[in-house]
């Protein structure tokens, strides 16, 4: 346990140094001078990271040493580029980072045994579906940039889908642990249909999200979450095929019936003929990636202001312009490390519920990163989902840190059991 935390401390310190160096280089690139607050920035950042590390050392001393440093590095890189784009947003992002770290530690304090969450499966189901559909409620739902995924309550606005995905992952894991043997026995035929209700519900809700909220990314994320967890629970690849066919059928129907869905697909296939109108955002992202080349234009030397919603939807393109292929590859490697660590945690977990939940939470991280990065690079239609830990946004940071805390708690429990067995 001591060696894990020592490794983690070294990696956290490295993340702090890299973030401070990038922050300094951005200022040199934009103003040709050192930032006036570089000293206080480094001290505050180091204090926040040290607090997180000390809290983890006390609350989950046997946890995986890779997850937290990689998350903090991604968060730091995201903050540097948000500050590069808008100093006012940087102050808000710093505040949300502190709140996210507090939520991370609070989750570790509140959830001492992840297995206890299994008893509240239907409460999590209701909470997840309620949060997912909350933006459709008149009066509080808000339509921003064409997608109705925001909720405004008084002065505060947030994306409830960032928290719905965690609640639904808990429900799916709990339900599938109980039903996996039945769902995995394909010989039952029609008798198995009564247990397929959650799959049909997930399909229906994903289509509602895509159509009513105009959010292709969240729709794909939630449906992929359940189908992948169903596949992991039963070991039946047939469910992957069935899930793909169901989502494809719903998408084709939505494409023919709803203009905003068709518009997203048309822009994805040919943004160049619409470069001055609906394809402007996608085209600017392509120009930014092309301008970055192999090593990038340099921190603070690009032109990210030309891209709409650069701090949220297109943060990966901003990184590509100023750090080039090498920088974007480093970000991809960071996410691969997180996904690999998450899958390793799932394999080491001793309880089926914890195994499935770890796999589900890791799926959220991996699929969400793939959706937004694929959208920026035009592998898939561009959507409004955020890049975890990197994009600007309080809801995204809070949800990501809570998800990270649950993964770390599962890791801590699994490693403790392994140590006792040894």
Residues 147-182: b if buried by 16+ CB within 10 A, e if exposed? bbbbbeeeeeebbbbbbbbbbbbbbbbbbbbebbee
Cα–Cα distance, 20 to 195 (Å, whole number)? 52
Token pair for 391: 């994009």
Kindly indicate the confidence band of residue 340, based on its pLDDT and cuts at 50, 70 and 90: very high
Kindly indicate the confidence band of residue 207, based on its pLDDT and cuts at 50, 70 and 90: low
pLDDT of residue 49: 83
| Share above pLDDT 70 across residues of the chain, in percent, rounded to a whole number | 92
CB 100 within 8 A of CB 399: no
pLDDT one-digit tens code per residue, 124-144: 888 888 888 888 788 787 776
pTM, full prediction: 0.92
Cα–Cα distance, 144 to 163 (Å, whole number)? 19
Please compute the mean of the pLDDT values over residues 390-412 and round it to a whole number: 93
Residues 6+ apart with CB under 8 A from 151: 134, 135, 137, 140, 141, 142, 157, 158, 159, 160
Q: What average pLDDT does the structure give for the chain?
A: 85
Has residue 105 got a pLDDT over 90?
Answer: yes
59-63, 219-223, 309-313, 394-398: segment of lowest average pLDDT: 219-223
Residues 401-414: b if buried by 16+ CB within 10 A, e if exposed? bbbbbbbbbbbbbb
93-102, 202-211, 264-273, 368-377: segment of lowest average pLDDT: 202-211
Task: Please give the order of strands across the beta sheet that includes 156-158.
Answer: 141-144, 147-153, 156-158
Cα–Cα distance, 216 to 381 (Å, whole number)? 8
pLDDT one-digit tens code per residue, 40-82: 777 787 888 888 888 888 898 888 999 999 999 999 999 999 9
pLDDT of residue 138: 80
Please compute the mean of the pLDDT values over residues 177-195 and round it to a whole number: 67
Has residue 206 got a pLDDT over 70?
Answer: no
CB 83 within 8 A of CB 46: no
Cα maximum dimension of the chain: 71
Has residue 264 got a pLDDT over 70?
Answer: yes
pLDDT one-digit tens code per residue, 151-167: 887 777 788 888 988 99
Has residue 412 got a pLDDT over 60?
Answer: yes
Cα–Cα distance, 236 to 233 (Å, whole number)? 8
């Amino acid at each position: 346990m001591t060696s894990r935390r020592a490794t983690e401390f070294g990696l956290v310190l490295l993340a702090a140094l890299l973030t401070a160096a990038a922050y300094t280089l951005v200022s040199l690139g934009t103003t040709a001078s050192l930032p006036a607050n570089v000293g206080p920035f480094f001290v505050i950042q180091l204090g926040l990271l040290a607090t997180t590390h000390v809290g983890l050392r006390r609350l989950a001393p046997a946890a995986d040493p890779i997850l937290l440093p990689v998350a903090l590095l991604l968060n730091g890189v995201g903050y540097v580029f948000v500050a590069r784009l808008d100093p006012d947003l940087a102050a808000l992002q710093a505040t949300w980072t502190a709140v996210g770290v507090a939520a991370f530690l609070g989750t570790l304090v509140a959830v001492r045994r992840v297995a206890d969450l299994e008893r509240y499966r239907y409460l999590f189901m209701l909470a997840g579906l309620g949060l997912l559909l909350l933006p459709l409620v008149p009066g509080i739902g808000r339509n921003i940039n064409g997608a109705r995924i925001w909720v405004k309550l008084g002065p505060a606005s947030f994306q409830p889908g960032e928290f719905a995905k965690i609640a639904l992952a808990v429900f799916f894991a709990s339900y599938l642990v109980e039903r996996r043997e039945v769902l995995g026995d394909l010989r039952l035929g029609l008798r198995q249909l009564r247990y397929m209700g959650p799959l049909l519900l997930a399909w229906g809700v994903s289509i509602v999200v895509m159509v009513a909220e105009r959010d292709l990314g969240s729709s794909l994320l939630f449906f992929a979450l359940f189908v992948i967890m169903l596949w992991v629970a039963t070991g039946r690849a047939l469910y992957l095929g069935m899930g793909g066919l169901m989502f494809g059928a719903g998408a084709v129907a939505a494409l023919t019936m709803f203009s905003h869905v068709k518009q997203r697909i048309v822009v994805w296939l040919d943004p160049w003929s619409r470069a001055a109108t609906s394809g402007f955002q996608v085209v600017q992202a392509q120009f930014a990636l092309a301008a970055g080349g192999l090593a990038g234009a340099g921190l603070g030397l690009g032109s990210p202001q030309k891209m709409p919603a650069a701090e949220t939807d297109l943060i990966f393109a901003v990184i590509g312009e100023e750090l080039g292929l090498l920088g974007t590859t480093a970000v991809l490697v960071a996410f691969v490390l997180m996904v690999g660590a998450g899958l390793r945690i799932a394999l080491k977990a001793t309880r089926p519920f914890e195994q499935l939940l770890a796999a589900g939470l890791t799926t959220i991280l991996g699929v969400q990163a793939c959706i937004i990065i694929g959208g920026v690079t035009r592998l898939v239609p561009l959507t409004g989902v955020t890049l975890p830990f990197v994009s600007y946004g309080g809801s995204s940071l809070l949800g990501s840190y809570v998800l990270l805390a649950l993964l770390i708690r599962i890791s801590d429990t699994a490693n403790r059991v392994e140590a006792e067995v040894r």
